[in-house]
Structure 1
């Protein structure tokens, strides 16, 4: 009886000691967390007591702290991007508007010859078209990136679509003195995508190439194991590695390659559409050669294809 009582008292004492140690450790951890939340220290929680549950708790709290820091960084980045977007939009809209207003004033107050009047009206018309295209692109990009924007997935023979698109760009390439080196497979290649979205992506990439390409242009389309890949390569001596990494960012502008005829949103629209189609659009810079790479899922005959948004 005495031995059982002694064992019980000893066990109770050990348990009490353990509880006191755990309580002290929890108090220490609480103090660490309070100092971290008050920004008096950036040190994360440390556990001195060997206890798997306390260590797991500390790990989850540290993970939560990382998520909070990440969310705060994303919030600041979004705010900066929004401010930059507003600045870019204001500049891009104000520029043609100022020009239009200036020429309208000239038409109102200046004695003009019929030739001068025709020239000014032509300039106003072009500036108005530029402003309209800009606003349309801003609207289209915001629409594409909304959760409600839906695409229709279907079988598309890419070799036919690409050939048709390239015919439409014969004159723009010819005007720039560019004869692209076109490489297509002999057999038709079908992908699973939205036809209008694919056409818009291809046209935006070709338009970007026409505007900025110098020297030789290579347009290569081929079938991979599970994807179809379109590669458009051209010289881009003015681009740096940083430019290429940010090329699809709608809030980033490479001023020295900017065209007064476009909105600067073509690549962003193409990127968003490719994401919607479960495809990819990337850019590679090797030396002074820029390559745009588009990949679409292949059409697998007899296999049910998933829907997408």
Structure 2
């Protein structure tokens, strides 16, 4: 009688799961069916995770469409507006030059966004070839910092570096790794608190190499860490700063395509990104 009762309870649980009730529970001892009950509960846990992931995916897709529409529309609207203004034959030379400069800025902004979309699409589909060669990380980082010197100065940011004195050689795609460094440093210039120090460390460990970026955020970071590397998600949710919201997503994709990992840590206003590449 007990075996029959236990079987009925277990059968009812599986029926409810099949009907979509993922909260059903059995706390009782089901005797010889306990092992099977545990397996059913594992399946239930897997269903819950799958549903949560799908809900999150759908939400991210909705956000992606809204955000990319906003980011494409903003410079495009400006281009249309200033093109119409330039049609005025009575426009003085100074105004015309000013409008042309604005047009150029917005066109370049649109170009960068489209290029980022293209890169993200290739990286996500795996339709990208990595040209691996021996890369000296310290030299590449110094080159990146030199090319972004103006941006760093404009952001009133002081970058302190801590690099090994010896050469740090890894098999990487130099162009894509430069892009990763470029995106992460630009991220600092956009979101770090002005007149503060940011830090970049290259740590040569026995089995791996870590590149660590640290800065104090100008605004409170209230975005989930796992979502920051999603497409079009920004720390600046109000979208006051310029940017495609693809920088961290592209960096993460390029790092992972080279066998590395990109991890983000937030401690109060301290924002830290750690790249790890195995030797």
Query: What is the TM-score normalised by the length of structure 1?
Result: 0.78
1:255 aligns with 2:245: no
Shift of 1:112: 0.8
Q: Which of the numbers 102, 127, 148 marks the counterpart of 2:81?
A: 102
1:116 aligns with 2:98: no
The equivalent of 1:265 in structure 2 is 246
Shift of 1:283: 2.9
Q: Name the stretch that deviates more: 73-82 or 208-217.
A: 208-217
The equivalent of 2:116 in structure 1 is 137
Distance 1:275 1:92, change over 3 A: same
Verify the 8 A CA contact 2:134 2:170 in the aligned structure 1: yes
The equivalent of 2:34 in structure 1 is 55
The alignment covers a number of residue pairs equal to 276
Distance 1:212 1:28, change over 3 A: closer
How does 1:1-309 map onto structure 2 within 5 Å? 22=3, 25-38=6-19, 42-45=23-26, 48-51=29-32, 54-109=33-88, 111-213=90-192, 214=194, 215-240=196-221, 242=223, 244=225, 246-253=227-234, 254-255=236-237, 258-260=240-242, 262-298=243-279
CA-to-aligned-CA distance 1:118-145 (integer Å, 9 cap, x gap): 2212212211111121111122112112
Distance 1:105 1:162, change over 3 A: same
The alignment partner of 1:240 has SS state of: coil
Q: Name the stretch that deviates more: 242-251 or 82-91.
A: 242-251
Shift of 1:241: 5.7
Query: What is the TM-score normalised by the length of structure 2?
Result: 0.86
Instruction: Give distance in 2, aligned partners of 1:166 and 1:35.
Output: 59
Verify the 8 A CA contact 2:232 2:245 in the aligned structure 1: no
Distance 1:106 1:228, change over 3 A: same
**Greater radius of gyration (CA):** 1
Gaps of 5+ in 2: none
How well do the aligned residues superpose, as a CA RMSD in angstroms?
Answer: 2.6
Instruction: Give distance in 2, aligned partners of 1:192 and 1:137.
Output: 24
